Amino acid sequence: MTMFYSMKDVRLEFLHWKGTDNVIVIIHPRQSVNVSISNKRIFVSRNEGKTYARKRYMNDGKPIYVERYIPTKDILVGISSTNHTILYLNMKLTLFATRIYDLFTYIYQSTFEASYFCKLEKTTYRVCFIVLSFIINEKKAIVKISYITLQ
């Protein structure tokens, strides 16, 4: 059981995650000795908030410092810019996959489908435009990606 002490100036985030049974997720910002590391601790309750368990995640024996949690349909996604890692948690908040991304990469959630994530990578120093074309019919959306590079 975890108790929250000295909560005077702390703002907790409550994660609304549809589809889970009786799970309350609280995200607590952690004050770290190393100011360059931003980390949010995650506390989970399965009994309507009576007790909370702290969850910690590791990749190859090293802690993953997660800055942002994003709930999707049946997966909770954590994004760590410190470790350059995306972690995937199932409905029981068990880590089942991690992906490492490059330094100059930006990860964001899709606006048309919540379970899709987009990744923008810096590949060259030239300026280029990415054109996304959506073809939507009754049952699916097809995405066509075109690159236009300026010389």
Q: 64-100 pLDDT, tens per residue?
A: 888 888 877 778 888 888 888 888 888 778 888 888 8
> Is residue 21 situated within a structural domain?
yes
> Which range in 32-41, 103-112, 135-144 is most confidently predicted, on average pLDDT?
103-112
Q: pTM surpassing 0.85?
A: no
- Whether 11 has a pLDDT exceeding 60, the answer reads no
> Is residue 121 situated within a structural domain?
yes
The whole-angstrom separation of Cα 94 and Cα 55 is 9
Q: 94-113 pLDDT, tens per residue?
A: 888 888 887 777 777 777 77
Q: How many Å from the N-terminal Cα to the C-terminal Cα in the chain?
A: 60
Counted domains in the chain: 1
> Is residue 93 situated within a structural domain?
yes
> Is residue 1 situated within a structural domain?
no
Residue range(s) defining the domain that contains residue 97: 10-149
DSSP string, 84-117: TEEEEE-TT--EEEEEE--TTEEEEE-SS-TT-E
> Is residue 102 situated within a structural domain?
yes
For the segment 2-11, the average pLDDT, to the nearest whole number, is 47
> Is residue 2 situated within a structural domain?
no
Backbone angles phi and psi of 118, in degrees to 5: -110, 145
Owner of token pair 């975890």: 2
Q: Count the helix, strand and coil residues of the chain and give each as a percent rounded to the nearest 5.
A: 0, 50, 50
> Is residue 117 situated within a structural domain?
yes
Closest CA to 86 of 74, 98, 72, 75: 98
> Is residue 4 situated within a structural domain?
no
